[in-house]
Structure 1
C-alpha cells in the first residue's frame, strides 16, 4: 500500500505534524514523507494509493505567494524569533495540487493553525480536501487542524494527536479499500 504524506511548512510546525502523522500511518504500508518543494513529493504521489496533504493556515485558507512572502518577512524580524524552513520558499500546497498530474484515489487533509476559534483563523485543511476531491480523489476521513500557540509553539499533545490521527487515517483507508 503506497502512502505519501506531503506538506508545506514555513517555520517547522507543519513538518513536525506531518512526520508524526507518518508515524501513525507506518503500520498500514510504506510511507514516504516529503515537502511540496522536494522533487520526491510528486514522484511518490504518482504510485501512492493514499495522499495525506497538509499545510499552514494563512488568511483563513491555503497559503498564497503573498502570504508566504509575509512569512519570510516575519522570519527576518529578529523580535519574532522565527526561523524559515529550508524548503519554505517556492511553491505552496495550492499550486502543488494544481500542478499534480496524477492525484491518488484516496486522500486526507490536515493543517496547522493558531490556537484560536476556527471562525477567526480559518483552516486550510478544508480547502485542501476540496481541491483534492475536485481533482477526483476521495477523502477517507474528515480534515484535521493541529494547533500552534500565538508564539508559534507546537504543544507536545498535538504531536500525539497527529500520530493518533495518522492511525485513524490508516484505518479509514483500509475500510475504503476493503469495501
Structure 2
C-alpha cells in the first residue's frame, strides 16, 4: 500500500502531526510526507490513500492573508513563535483547488486550538469536503489534533496522531 500525507504548517505543529501520522502508517504501508506547496508534483493515481491536513485559521483552512498574519505574529518583538520556512507558500487550500478530478481513498486532519469547535473552527471538515468534491472517498471522519494557547501541541497529540495513522491503514485494508 502506498500512502501520501500532504500537510501545511505555520509553526511546525501540523508538520509534526503529519510526521506522526506517517509513523503510524509506516507499520503497514509505504508512506511519503510532502508539504502542500510541493504536492502538485505528486501523481495521486500512484497512491492507495491520500491524507491531507493543515492548521485551522479563522475557523477554517488557511489562505494567503492568514498565512501572512501568522508570519507577522511570529515577527512581533515579544513573540516566541518560529515559522516554518515555507509558511507563506501555497497551502492545502490551493493544492486542493488544483486537483481537478481524482479518485481513490482519502482522509483529512487539522490542528486547532483546544476548545469547542463552535469557537475554534475546524479546517479538517473543509479539507474533507474538498477531497470529496474532487472525487475521493473518505475512509475516516475528519480528525483534529489540539494545540494550546501558546500554539504548542497538547501532550499526547503526536502519539494520538500515530495511532490515527495506524487506524487509517487498518480501515483501508478492511475496505480492500
Is the TM-score greater than 0.5?
Answer: yes
Q: Residue 27 of structure 1: CA displacement?
A: 2.2
Residue 73 of structure 2: SS of its match in structure 1? helix
Per-residue CA deviations over 1:4-63 (Å, capped at 9, x if unaligned) read: 001000000000000000011112211000111125x64153411110000000111100
What is the Cα-based RMSD across aligned positions, in Å? 1.4
* Structure-2 separation of matches of 1:78 and 1:45: 42
Structure 1 equivalent of residue 133 of structure 2: 134
Is the Cα contact below 8 Å between 2:100 and 2:134 reproduced in 1? no
Is the Cα contact below 8 Å between 1:110 and 1:144 reproduced in 2? yes
Worse-superposed segment, 3-12 or 42-51: 42-51
Structure 2 equivalent of residue 176 of structure 1: 175
Q: TM-score, normalised by structure 1?
A: 0.93
Q: 1:61-80 alignment to 2 at 5 Å? A: 61-80=60-79
Q: TM-score, normalised by structure 2?
A: 0.95
Shift in alpha-carbon separation, 1:75–1:167, aligned structure 2, 3 A: same
Aligned length: 176
* Structure-1 separation of matches of 2:103 and 2:22: 17
* Structure-1 separation of matches of 2:68 and 2:104: 33
Worse-superposed segment, 103-112 or 5-14: 103-112
Residue 160 of structure 1: SS of its match in structure 2? helix
Structure 2 equivalent of residue 143 of structure 1: 142
Residue 78 of structure 1: SS of its match in structure 2? coil
Q: Residue 156 of structure 1: CA displacement?
A: 3.4
* Structure-1 separation of matches of 2:148 and 2:165: 22
Misfit runs of 4+, over 6 Å: none
Identify unmatched segments of 5+ residues in structure 1.
none
* Structure-2 separation of matches of 1:94 and 1:48: 20
